[in-house]
Amino acid sequence: MNSFPQTLTLAGTDSGGGAGIMADLKTMEARHVFGTAVVVAVTAQNTLGVQKSLMLPIDMINAQCASLAADFQIKACKTGMLGDKEHVLAVANNLRQYDFGPLTVDPVMVAKGGAILLEEDAIKTMITELFPLATILTPNLLEAEKIVGQTIDTPSDFKRAAQMMQQMGAKNIVIKGGHKVGEKVQDYVLLANGHEQWLSAPRIDTKRTHGTGDTLSACITAELAKGHSIIQALQIAKNYISQAIAQTIQVGHGHGPLNHWA
Ligand code: PLP
Tens digits of residue pLDDT in 111-138: 888 889 999 999 999 999 999 999 999 9
Residues 6+ apart with CB under 8 A from 96: 133
User: Could you give the 3-state DSSP secondary structure of residue 41?
Assistant: strand
- Model pLDDT for residues 139-193, shown as the tens digit of each residue: 999 999 999 999 999 999 999 999 999 999 999 999 998 777 777 889 999 999 9
Residue 197 has pLDDT above 60, yes or no: yes
Contact 119, 85 (CB under 8 A): yes
Give the model's pLDDT for residue 2: 59
User: CB of 22 closer than 6 A to ligand 1?
Assistant: no
For the stretch 79-108, pLDDT in tens is 999 999 999 999 999 999 999 999 999 999
Could you report the predicted ipTM of this complex, rounded to two decimals?
0.93
Give the pTM: 0.96
Class of domain 6-246: alpha beta
Cβ of 81 closer than 6 Å to ligand 1, yes or no, is yes
Query: Measured in angstroms, how far is the CA atom of residue 211 from the centroid of ligand 1?
Result: 5
Q: Is the CB of 139 under 6 A from ligand 1?
A: no
Which candidate, 111, 116, 139, 119, places its Cα nearest to that of 211? 111
Tally DSSP H helices, then E strands, for the chain. 8, 9
Ligand 1 binding pocket includes 14 (Cβ within 6 Å): yes
pLDDT value at 201 more than 90 = no
User: pLDDT at residue 1 above 80?
Assistant: no
